[in-house]
Structure 1
Amino acid sequence: MCARAADPARTKPTERVPAAANPVMRALPAAGTRPALTRGPRPFPVRRVRQAFGVGRLLLAGLGVAALLGYFDYVLGFATFQIYNFYSYFTVQSGMAAVVAFVAGAIVAFRHTVDPPWLDWFRLLVTTYITVSGIVFLTIVIQSSNRDYTIEVPWSSQLLHFWIPAIALLDWLTDAGKARLPWKILAWGLVVPSIWGVFTLIRGSIVGWYPYFFLDPVQVSGPLETAVYCLVALTLFTAIAAVLTATSRLPQWMWRRGSTAE
Protein backbone atom coordinates (compact mmCIF):
# COMPACT_ATOMS: atom_id res chain seq x y z
CA MET A 1 0.00 0.00 0.00
CA CYS A 2 1.14 3.42 -0.77
CA ALA A 3 1.37 5.83 2.09
CA ARG A 4 -0.86 8.93 1.61
CA ALA A 5 0.98 12.15 1.83
CA ALA A 6 -0.07 14.31 4.73
CA ASP A 7 -2.06 17.44 3.80
CA PRO A 8 -0.21 20.39 5.31
CA ALA A 9 -3.41 22.45 5.28
CA ARG A 10 -5.11 19.83 7.46
CA THR A 11 -2.24 19.03 9.78
CA LYS A 12 -0.82 22.48 10.47
CA PRO A 13 -2.91 24.85 12.63
CA THR A 14 -4.01 28.17 11.14
CA GLU A 15 -1.75 30.96 12.19
CA ARG A 16 -3.50 34.11 13.45
CA VAL A 17 -1.91 37.48 13.01
CA PRO A 18 -1.94 39.42 16.29
CA ALA A 19 -4.07 42.57 16.23
CA ALA A 20 -1.08 44.59 17.36
CA ALA A 21 0.83 43.52 14.23
CA ASN A 22 -2.05 44.39 11.84
CA PRO A 23 -2.01 48.12 10.89
CA VAL A 24 -5.69 48.04 9.87
CA MET A 25 -6.75 46.58 13.19
CA ARG A 26 -4.62 49.09 15.06
CA ALA A 27 -6.44 51.96 13.28
CA LEU A 28 -9.85 50.82 14.54
CA PRO A 29 -10.78 51.68 18.13
CA ALA A 30 -11.78 48.97 20.50
CA ALA A 31 -15.43 47.93 20.45
CA GLY A 32 -16.03 49.34 23.91
CA THR A 33 -14.47 52.71 23.06
CA ARG A 34 -16.19 53.43 19.73
CA PRO A 35 -18.48 56.49 19.95
CA ALA A 36 -22.16 55.86 19.40
CA LEU A 37 -23.62 57.22 16.22
CA THR A 38 -26.06 60.05 16.88
CA ARG A 39 -28.50 61.61 14.44
CA GLY A 40 -28.41 65.42 14.49
CA PRO A 41 -31.36 67.71 13.92
CA ARG A 42 -32.71 67.79 10.42
CA PRO A 43 -31.64 70.93 8.53
CA PHE A 44 -34.38 73.52 8.17
CA PRO A 45 -35.59 73.82 4.55
CA VAL A 46 -35.05 77.52 3.99
CA ARG A 47 -36.01 77.48 0.32
CA ARG A 48 -39.31 75.79 1.02
CA VAL A 49 -40.06 78.28 3.76
CA ARG A 50 -39.23 81.17 1.44
CA GLN A 51 -41.58 79.75 -1.16
CA ALA A 52 -44.28 79.58 1.49
CA PHE A 53 -43.59 83.25 2.29
CA GLY A 54 -43.92 84.03 -1.42
CA VAL A 55 -47.32 82.36 -1.65
CA GLY A 56 -48.48 84.13 1.50
CA ARG A 57 -47.39 87.52 0.19
CA LEU A 58 -49.22 86.98 -3.08
CA LEU A 59 -52.36 86.12 -1.15
CA LEU A 60 -51.85 89.20 1.00
CA ALA A 61 -51.47 91.35 -2.12
CA GLY A 62 -54.73 89.94 -3.47
CA LEU A 63 -56.38 90.70 -0.15
CA GLY A 64 -55.10 94.26 -0.36
CA VAL A 65 -56.51 94.73 -3.87
CA ALA A 66 -59.88 93.37 -2.75
CA ALA A 67 -59.89 95.69 0.27
CA LEU A 68 -59.06 98.77 -1.83
CA LEU A 69 -61.76 97.97 -4.36
CA GLY A 70 -64.28 97.28 -1.61
CA TYR A 71 -63.42 100.50 0.18
CA PHE A 72 -63.77 102.46 -3.07
CA ASP A 73 -67.20 100.93 -3.62
CA TYR A 74 -68.14 101.81 -0.03
CA VAL A 75 -67.22 105.51 -0.22
CA LEU A 76 -68.75 105.71 -3.69
CA GLY A 77 -72.14 105.76 -2.00
CA PHE A 78 -71.40 108.97 -0.11
CA ALA A 79 -73.21 112.06 -1.38
CA THR A 80 -70.05 114.13 -0.95
CA PHE A 81 -67.81 111.58 -2.69
CA GLN A 82 -65.06 112.94 -4.91
CA ILE A 83 -62.66 110.54 -6.57
CA TYR A 84 -59.61 112.74 -5.94
CA ASN A 85 -60.52 112.86 -2.25
CA PHE A 86 -60.44 109.06 -2.11
CA TYR A 87 -56.81 108.98 -3.17
CA SER A 88 -55.96 111.67 -0.63
CA TYR A 89 -56.37 109.27 2.30
CA PHE A 90 -53.04 108.15 3.69
CA THR A 91 -54.55 104.72 4.27
CA VAL A 92 -55.37 104.35 0.59
CA GLN A 93 -51.95 105.53 -0.55
CA SER A 94 -50.08 103.28 1.90
CA GLY A 95 -52.41 100.38 1.02
CA MET A 96 -51.56 100.71 -2.65
CA ALA A 97 -47.85 100.82 -1.80
CA ALA A 98 -48.32 97.74 0.37
CA VAL A 99 -49.72 95.75 -2.56
CA VAL A 100 -46.60 96.61 -4.58
CA ALA A 101 -44.37 95.64 -1.64
CA PHE A 102 -46.16 92.30 -1.19
CA VAL A 103 -45.81 91.39 -4.86
CA ALA A 104 -42.14 92.41 -4.96
CA GLY A 105 -41.47 90.48 -1.75
CA ALA A 106 -43.17 87.40 -3.18
CA ILE A 107 -41.09 87.47 -6.38
CA VAL A 108 -37.84 87.78 -4.41
CA ALA A 109 -38.89 85.04 -1.99
CA PHE A 110 -39.48 82.64 -4.88
CA ARG A 111 -36.05 83.34 -6.39
CA HIS A 112 -33.71 84.07 -3.46
CA THR A 113 -33.17 82.93 0.11
CA VAL A 114 -32.08 86.42 1.25
CA ASP A 115 -33.79 89.74 0.54
CA PRO A 116 -31.85 92.56 -1.14
CA PRO A 117 -31.49 95.62 1.12
CA TRP A 118 -33.60 97.86 -1.15
CA LEU A 119 -36.60 95.55 -0.76
CA ASP A 120 -36.39 95.52 3.02
CA TRP A 121 -36.08 99.31 3.06
CA PHE A 122 -39.29 99.47 1.06
CA ARG A 123 -41.03 96.79 3.14
CA LEU A 124 -40.09 98.46 6.42
CA LEU A 125 -41.42 101.85 5.31
CA VAL A 126 -44.65 100.39 3.96
CA THR A 127 -45.20 98.22 7.05
CA THR A 128 -44.65 101.28 9.23
CA TYR A 129 -47.12 103.38 7.25
CA ILE A 130 -49.96 100.85 7.22
CA THR A 131 -49.43 100.08 10.91
CA VAL A 132 -49.62 103.75 11.88
CA SER A 133 -52.69 104.16 9.66
CA GLY A 134 -54.39 101.38 11.58
CA ILE A 135 -53.47 102.84 14.95
CA VAL A 136 -54.66 106.33 13.98
CA PHE A 137 -57.92 104.99 12.55
CA LEU A 138 -58.56 102.96 15.68
CA THR A 139 -57.99 106.10 17.76
CA ILE A 140 -60.46 108.04 15.60
CA VAL A 141 -63.09 105.31 15.99
CA ILE A 142 -62.66 105.31 19.76
CA GLN A 143 -62.83 109.10 19.98
CA SER A 144 -65.91 109.29 17.75
CA SER A 145 -68.12 108.35 20.67
CA ASN A 146 -66.88 111.41 22.57
CA ARG A 147 -67.59 113.71 19.63
CA ASP A 148 -71.23 112.69 19.11
CA TYR A 149 -70.78 110.97 15.75
CA THR A 150 -70.41 107.39 14.59
CA ILE A 151 -67.86 105.94 12.18
CA GLU A 152 -68.82 102.83 10.24
CA VAL A 153 -66.13 100.20 9.83
CA PRO A 154 -67.04 98.00 6.83
CA TRP A 155 -65.19 94.81 5.99
CA SER A 156 -62.93 96.64 3.53
CA SER A 157 -61.92 99.17 6.15
CA GLN A 158 -61.27 96.41 8.67
CA LEU A 159 -58.93 94.71 6.20
CA LEU A 160 -57.07 97.91 5.33
CA HIS A 161 -56.69 99.22 8.86
CA PHE A 162 -56.40 96.10 11.01
CA TRP A 163 -55.96 92.72 9.35
CA ILE A 164 -53.49 93.56 6.59
CA PRO A 165 -51.19 95.61 8.89
CA ALA A 166 -51.25 92.80 11.47
CA ILE A 167 -50.34 90.14 8.89
CA ALA A 168 -47.65 92.41 7.40
CA LEU A 169 -46.13 92.82 10.86
CA LEU A 170 -46.15 89.05 11.34
CA ASP A 171 -44.52 88.61 7.94
CA TRP A 172 -41.77 91.05 8.87
CA LEU A 173 -41.09 89.57 12.31
CA THR A 174 -40.91 85.96 11.09
CA ASP A 175 -38.90 86.60 7.91
CA ALA A 176 -35.38 85.25 8.43
CA GLY A 177 -34.12 86.51 5.08
CA LYS A 178 -34.37 90.25 5.68
CA ALA A 179 -31.31 92.47 5.56
CA ARG A 180 -29.71 94.26 8.50
CA LEU A 181 -30.98 97.81 8.13
CA PRO A 182 -29.22 100.99 9.35
CA TRP A 183 -30.75 103.39 11.86
CA LYS A 184 -30.75 106.23 9.34
CA ILE A 185 -33.86 104.69 7.84
CA LEU A 186 -35.81 106.31 10.69
CA ALA A 187 -35.18 109.73 9.16
CA TRP A 188 -36.14 108.51 5.70
CA GLY A 189 -39.35 107.11 7.13
CA LEU A 190 -40.56 110.62 7.96
CA VAL A 191 -40.12 111.99 4.44
CA VAL A 192 -43.34 110.62 2.91
CA PRO A 193 -45.62 111.43 5.90
CA SER A 194 -44.18 114.96 6.10
CA ILE A 195 -44.71 115.63 2.39
CA TRP A 196 -48.21 114.16 2.57
CA GLY A 197 -49.06 116.25 5.64
CA VAL A 198 -47.88 119.54 4.16
CA PHE A 199 -49.68 118.85 0.87
CA THR A 200 -52.89 117.83 2.67
CA LEU A 201 -52.91 120.94 4.88
CA ILE A 202 -52.37 123.26 1.91
CA ARG A 203 -54.92 121.45 -0.25
CA GLY A 204 -57.44 121.35 2.61
CA SER A 205 -57.21 125.08 3.13
CA ILE A 206 -58.00 125.57 -0.58
CA VAL A 207 -60.80 123.02 -1.16
CA GLY A 208 -62.16 123.01 2.38
CA TRP A 209 -61.85 119.23 2.87
CA TYR A 210 -59.49 117.18 5.05
CA PRO A 211 -59.20 113.38 5.11
CA TYR A 212 -58.93 113.31 8.91
CA PHE A 213 -60.62 115.54 11.46
CA PHE A 214 -57.48 116.42 13.40
CA LEU A 215 -56.01 118.09 10.31
CA ASP A 216 -58.94 120.50 10.10
CA PRO A 217 -58.40 123.45 12.47
CA VAL A 218 -62.17 124.04 12.50
CA GLN A 219 -62.94 120.56 13.90
CA VAL A 220 -60.34 120.94 16.66
CA SER A 221 -59.46 123.85 18.91
CA GLY A 222 -57.24 125.46 16.28
CA PRO A 223 -53.93 125.18 14.43
CA LEU A 224 -52.03 124.47 17.66
CA GLU A 225 -54.00 121.29 18.34
CA THR A 226 -53.54 120.23 14.71
CA ALA A 227 -49.77 120.72 15.12
CA VAL A 228 -49.83 118.58 18.28
CA TYR A 229 -51.66 115.78 16.47
CA CYS A 230 -49.15 115.92 13.63
CA LEU A 231 -46.24 115.77 16.08
CA VAL A 232 -47.78 112.75 17.79
CA ALA A 233 -48.21 111.04 14.41
CA LEU A 234 -44.58 111.67 13.43
CA THR A 235 -43.45 110.29 16.80
CA LEU A 236 -45.55 107.18 16.18
CA PHE A 237 -44.01 106.73 12.74
CA THR A 238 -40.53 106.91 14.27
CA ALA A 239 -41.36 104.49 17.08
CA ILE A 240 -42.82 101.81 14.81
CA ALA A 241 -39.93 102.13 12.34
CA ALA A 242 -37.43 101.87 15.21
CA VAL A 243 -38.96 98.61 16.42
CA LEU A 244 -38.92 97.11 12.92
CA THR A 245 -35.33 98.25 12.37
CA ALA A 246 -34.24 96.75 15.68
CA THR A 247 -35.70 93.36 14.73
CA SER A 248 -33.73 93.39 11.48
CA ARG A 249 -30.52 93.91 13.43
CA LEU A 250 -30.87 90.86 15.65
CA PRO A 251 -28.03 88.28 15.34
CA GLN A 252 -28.58 86.12 12.27
CA TRP A 253 -27.94 82.89 14.17
CA MET A 254 -31.16 83.48 16.08
CA TRP A 255 -33.07 83.15 12.79
CA ARG A 256 -30.99 80.65 10.82
CA ARG A 257 -29.75 78.08 13.31
CA GLY A 258 -29.82 74.64 11.72
CA SER A 259 -31.01 76.00 8.38
CA THR A 260 -29.94 75.05 4.89
CA ALA A 261 -30.97 76.02 1.38
CA GLU A 262 -32.55 73.10 -0.45
Structure 2
Amino acid sequence: MTPTRARTAHLVVALVATLALVLQTVLVVSGASVLAETAVPPLATRLGRLVSYFTIQSNLLVAVTAWQLWHDPLRDGRWWRPVRLAALVGITVTGLVHFVLLRPLLHLEGLNYVADKLLHMVVPVLAIAVWAAVGPRPRSSWRSAPEVLVWPLLWLAYTLVVGGLSGWYPYPFLDPSGNGWGAVVAACVGITVLVVAVGAAYVALDRRLSAAPRAGHDVSAVGATAE
Protein backbone atom coordinates (compact mmCIF):
# COMPACT_ATOMS: atom_id res chain seq x y z
CA MET A 1 0.00 0.00 0.00
CA THR A 2 1.33 3.43 -0.94
CA PRO A 3 1.95 6.23 1.59
CA THR A 4 -1.05 8.16 0.27
CA ARG A 5 -3.41 5.27 1.02
CA ALA A 6 -1.64 4.70 4.33
CA ARG A 7 -2.41 8.31 5.26
CA THR A 8 -6.10 7.66 4.71
CA ALA A 9 -6.01 4.59 6.95
CA HIS A 10 -4.20 6.46 9.72
CA LEU A 11 -6.69 9.31 9.39
CA VAL A 12 -9.55 6.93 10.09
CA VAL A 13 -7.84 5.71 13.26
CA ALA A 14 -7.04 9.26 14.35
CA LEU A 15 -10.61 10.45 13.82
CA VAL A 16 -12.26 7.51 15.58
CA ALA A 17 -9.87 7.63 18.57
CA THR A 18 -10.33 11.39 18.87
CA LEU A 19 -14.11 11.06 18.63
CA ALA A 20 -14.11 8.40 21.35
CA LEU A 21 -11.99 10.54 23.68
CA VAL A 22 -14.05 13.68 23.07
CA LEU A 23 -17.33 11.82 23.58
CA GLN A 24 -16.16 10.26 26.85
CA THR A 25 -14.85 13.62 28.07
CA VAL A 26 -18.15 15.37 27.25
CA LEU A 27 -20.07 12.68 29.12
CA VAL A 28 -17.84 13.02 32.16
CA VAL A 29 -17.95 16.83 32.13
CA SER A 30 -21.74 16.84 31.77
CA GLY A 31 -22.15 14.34 34.59
CA ALA A 32 -23.93 11.89 32.30
CA SER A 33 -21.08 9.45 32.87
CA VAL A 34 -19.39 9.22 36.27
CA LEU A 35 -17.32 6.18 35.31
CA ALA A 36 -17.17 3.82 38.30
CA GLU A 37 -19.04 6.13 40.67
CA THR A 38 -22.67 6.08 41.78
CA ALA A 39 -22.63 9.78 42.73
CA VAL A 40 -21.30 12.73 40.74
CA PRO A 41 -17.97 13.98 42.14
CA PRO A 42 -16.75 17.56 41.53
CA LEU A 43 -15.67 18.32 37.96
CA ALA A 44 -11.95 18.51 38.77
CA THR A 45 -12.16 15.12 40.45
CA ARG A 46 -14.03 13.63 37.50
CA LEU A 47 -11.46 14.91 35.01
CA GLY A 48 -8.55 13.76 37.17
CA ARG A 49 -10.03 10.29 37.38
CA LEU A 50 -10.79 10.25 33.67
CA VAL A 51 -7.15 10.73 32.67
CA SER A 52 -6.09 8.15 35.27
CA TYR A 53 -7.64 5.32 33.27
CA PHE A 54 -5.21 3.20 31.26
CA THR A 55 -7.92 3.04 28.61
CA ILE A 56 -7.91 6.82 28.16
CA GLN A 57 -4.13 7.05 28.08
CA SER A 58 -3.77 4.25 25.54
CA ASN A 59 -6.45 5.77 23.29
CA LEU A 60 -4.72 9.14 23.59
CA LEU A 61 -1.40 7.62 22.53
CA VAL A 62 -3.11 5.98 19.56
CA ALA A 63 -4.76 9.25 18.56
CA VAL A 64 -1.53 11.26 18.80
CA THR A 65 0.57 8.77 16.85
CA ALA A 66 -2.16 8.25 14.26
CA TRP A 67 -2.42 12.00 13.62
CA GLN A 68 1.37 12.11 13.22
CA LEU A 69 1.24 9.22 10.75
CA TRP A 70 -1.54 10.93 8.82
CA HIS A 71 0.85 13.85 8.40
CA ASP A 72 3.79 11.56 7.57
CA PRO A 73 3.02 7.84 7.04
CA LEU A 74 6.77 7.10 6.94
CA ARG A 75 7.48 8.81 10.25
CA ASP A 76 10.46 7.53 12.19
CA GLY A 77 12.76 8.64 14.97
CA ARG A 78 14.74 7.35 17.94
CA TRP A 79 12.14 8.30 20.54
CA TRP A 80 9.11 8.06 18.30
CA ARG A 81 9.58 4.32 17.84
CA PRO A 82 9.00 3.29 21.50
CA VAL A 83 6.09 5.75 21.76
CA ARG A 84 4.43 4.21 18.70
CA LEU A 85 5.07 0.70 20.02
CA ALA A 86 3.71 1.71 23.43
CA ALA A 87 0.53 2.96 21.75
CA LEU A 88 0.05 -0.37 19.97
CA VAL A 89 0.83 -2.43 23.06
CA GLY A 90 -1.31 -0.25 25.30
CA ILE A 91 -4.39 -0.31 23.07
CA THR A 92 -4.06 -4.08 22.60
CA VAL A 93 -3.86 -4.64 26.36
CA THR A 94 -6.84 -2.30 26.78
CA GLY A 95 -8.93 -4.41 24.44
CA LEU A 96 -7.88 -7.72 25.95
CA VAL A 97 -8.36 -6.71 29.59
CA HIS A 98 -11.71 -5.14 28.82
CA PHE A 99 -12.96 -8.20 26.96
CA VAL A 100 -11.80 -10.71 29.56
CA LEU A 101 -12.17 -8.88 32.90
CA LEU A 102 -14.29 -5.75 32.64
CA ARG A 103 -16.93 -6.34 29.97
CA PRO A 104 -19.04 -8.67 32.15
CA LEU A 105 -19.12 -6.00 34.91
CA LEU A 106 -20.48 -3.18 32.76
CA HIS A 107 -24.13 -2.47 32.06
CA LEU A 108 -24.19 0.72 30.00
CA GLU A 109 -26.80 2.36 27.84
CA GLY A 110 -27.04 5.11 25.25
CA LEU A 111 -23.98 7.30 24.62
CA ASN A 112 -22.17 5.73 27.57
CA TYR A 113 -22.41 2.39 25.77
CA VAL A 114 -21.20 3.98 22.51
CA ALA A 115 -18.21 5.62 24.18
CA ASP A 116 -17.30 2.39 25.97
CA LYS A 117 -17.37 0.33 22.78
CA LEU A 118 -15.40 2.91 20.83
CA LEU A 119 -12.66 3.13 23.45
CA HIS A 120 -12.42 -0.56 24.31
CA MET A 121 -13.26 -2.37 21.09
CA VAL A 122 -13.45 -0.22 17.95
CA VAL A 123 -10.22 1.73 18.44
CA PRO A 124 -8.17 -1.36 19.44
CA VAL A 125 -9.40 -3.33 16.42
CA LEU A 126 -8.83 -0.40 14.04
CA ALA A 127 -5.37 0.40 15.40
CA ILE A 128 -4.19 -3.20 15.15
CA ALA A 129 -5.70 -3.72 11.68
CA VAL A 130 -4.20 -0.53 10.28
CA TRP A 131 -0.78 -1.34 11.73
CA ALA A 132 -0.96 -4.79 10.13
CA ALA A 133 -1.97 -3.28 6.79
CA VAL A 134 0.15 -0.14 6.51
CA GLY A 135 2.64 -0.14 9.39
CA PRO A 136 4.87 1.75 9.36
CA ARG A 137 7.33 -1.13 9.42
CA PRO A 138 10.04 -1.91 10.31
CA ARG A 139 10.08 0.31 13.39
CA SER A 140 10.86 -2.00 16.34
CA SER A 141 13.90 -3.74 17.79
CA TRP A 142 14.56 -6.00 20.77
CA ARG A 143 17.00 -3.42 22.11
CA SER A 144 14.45 -0.62 22.39
CA ALA A 145 11.45 -2.79 23.34
CA PRO A 146 12.06 -2.56 27.14
CA GLU A 147 11.42 1.20 26.93
CA VAL A 148 7.78 0.39 26.29
CA LEU A 149 7.49 -0.87 29.88
CA VAL A 150 8.23 2.57 31.34
CA TRP A 151 4.73 3.96 30.84
CA PRO A 152 2.71 0.94 32.10
CA LEU A 153 4.94 0.57 35.18
CA LEU A 154 4.69 4.28 35.98
CA TRP A 155 0.93 4.05 35.52
CA LEU A 156 0.71 1.11 37.92
CA ALA A 157 2.83 2.89 40.54
CA TYR A 158 0.80 6.11 40.20
CA THR A 159 -2.49 4.22 40.41
CA LEU A 160 -1.53 2.35 43.56
CA VAL A 161 -0.11 5.42 45.31
CA VAL A 162 -3.05 7.68 44.45
CA GLY A 163 -5.50 4.90 45.25
CA GLY A 164 -3.86 4.34 48.63
CA LEU A 165 -4.17 8.04 49.44
CA SER A 166 -7.66 8.64 48.05
CA GLY A 167 -9.32 5.23 48.27
CA TRP A 168 -10.26 5.42 44.55
CA TYR A 169 -8.96 2.91 42.01
CA PRO A 170 -9.81 3.01 38.29
CA TYR A 171 -10.19 -0.77 38.07
CA PRO A 172 -11.60 -3.19 40.66
CA PHE A 173 -8.76 -5.69 40.30
CA LEU A 174 -6.34 -3.03 41.63
CA ASP A 175 -8.38 -2.26 44.75
CA PRO A 176 -6.96 -4.10 47.79
CA SER A 177 -10.13 -3.49 49.81
CA GLY A 178 -11.87 -6.09 47.69
CA ASN A 179 -9.68 -9.18 47.56
CA GLY A 180 -6.59 -8.04 49.47
CA TRP A 181 -3.08 -7.12 48.43
CA GLY A 182 -2.28 -10.63 47.31
CA ALA A 183 -4.82 -10.36 44.52
CA VAL A 184 -3.57 -6.87 43.62
CA VAL A 185 0.03 -8.05 43.39
CA ALA A 186 -1.09 -10.97 41.23
CA ALA A 187 -3.00 -8.56 38.98
CA CYS A 188 0.04 -6.27 38.66
CA VAL A 189 2.28 -9.20 37.77
CA GLY A 190 -0.30 -10.44 35.28
CA ILE A 191 -0.59 -7.01 33.63
CA THR A 192 3.20 -6.72 33.40
CA VAL A 193 3.51 -10.18 31.85
CA LEU A 194 0.74 -9.34 29.38
CA VAL A 195 2.45 -6.09 28.37
CA VAL A 196 5.76 -7.90 27.88
CA ALA A 197 4.11 -10.69 25.85
CA VAL A 198 2.17 -8.28 23.63
CA GLY A 199 5.25 -6.10 23.13
CA ALA A 200 7.36 -9.11 22.20
CA ALA A 201 4.70 -10.23 19.72
CA TYR A 202 4.69 -6.83 18.02
CA VAL A 203 8.47 -6.71 17.79
CA ALA A 204 8.59 -10.25 16.36
CA LEU A 205 5.86 -9.47 13.81
CA ASP A 206 7.47 -6.16 12.93
CA ARG A 207 10.65 -8.03 12.00
CA ARG A 208 8.86 -10.78 10.06
CA LEU A 209 6.16 -8.94 8.13
CA SER A 210 6.97 -7.10 4.93
CA ALA A 211 7.94 -3.45 5.05
CA ALA A 212 5.02 -1.02 4.88
CA PRO A 213 4.00 1.29 3.42
CA ARG A 214 5.71 0.87 0.07
CA ALA A 215 6.37 4.00 -1.93
CA GLY A 216 6.08 2.34 -5.34
CA HIS A 217 5.07 4.91 -7.95
CA ASP A 218 3.35 7.19 -5.45
CA VAL A 219 4.99 10.49 -6.29
CA SER A 220 3.11 12.23 -3.48
CA ALA A 221 4.77 10.15 -0.77
CA VAL A 222 6.49 12.12 1.93
CA GLY A 223 9.81 11.16 3.40
CA ALA A 224 10.51 9.92 6.87
CA THR A 225 10.90 12.57 9.55
CA ALA A 226 14.27 12.58 11.22
CA GLU A 227 14.57 13.39 14.88
State the TM-score bracket (shorter-chain normalisation): 0.7 to 0.9
- How large is the Cα RMSD of the aligned pairs? 2.2
Report the counterpart of residue 140 of structure 2 in structure 1.
Answer: 181
Alignment map for 1:59-74 (pairs within 5 Å): 59-74=12-27
Alignment map for 1:1-262 (pairs within 5 Å): 49-75=2-28, 76-77=31-32, 78=34, 79-81=39-41, 82-109=46-73, 114-118=74-78, 119-144=80-105, 150-152=106-108, 154-175=113-134, 177-219=136-178, 221-250=179-208, 254-255=210-211, 260-262=216-218
Assess, with a 3 A threshold, how the Cα gap between structure 1 residues 151 and 232 changes in structure 2: closer, same or farther: farther
* SS of residue in 2 equivalent to 1:154: helix
State the one-letter code of the partner of 1:99.
Answer: A
Deviations 1:43-78 (CA, angstroms, capped at 9, x unpaired): xxx5xx211111221222121111112112334323
Q: Quick check: 2:21–2:56 contact (8 Å CA) kept in 1? A: yes
Q: Quick check: 1:98–1:127 contact (8 Å CA) kept in 2? A: yes
What's the offset of the Cα at 1:259? 7.3
* SS of residue in 1 equivalent to 2:72: helix
The structure 1 segments of at least 4 consecutive aligned residues displaced by more than 4 Å after TM superposition are none
Please, which runs of 5 or more residues in structure 1 have no aligned partner? 1-45, 145-149
Which structure's relative contact order is higher, taking Cα pairs within 8 Å and 6+ residues apart?
2
Q: Quick check: 1:117–1:181 contact (8 Å CA) kept in 2? A: no
Please, which runs of 5 or more residues in structure 2 have no aligned partner? 219-227
Asked which structure has the greater CA Rg, the reply is: 1
State the one-letter code of the partner of 1:90.
Answer: F
Distance 2:19 2:206 in 1: 30
Distance 2:81 2:59 in 1: 17
State the one-letter code of the partner of 2:149.
Answer: L
Percentage identity across aligned positions?
Answer: 25
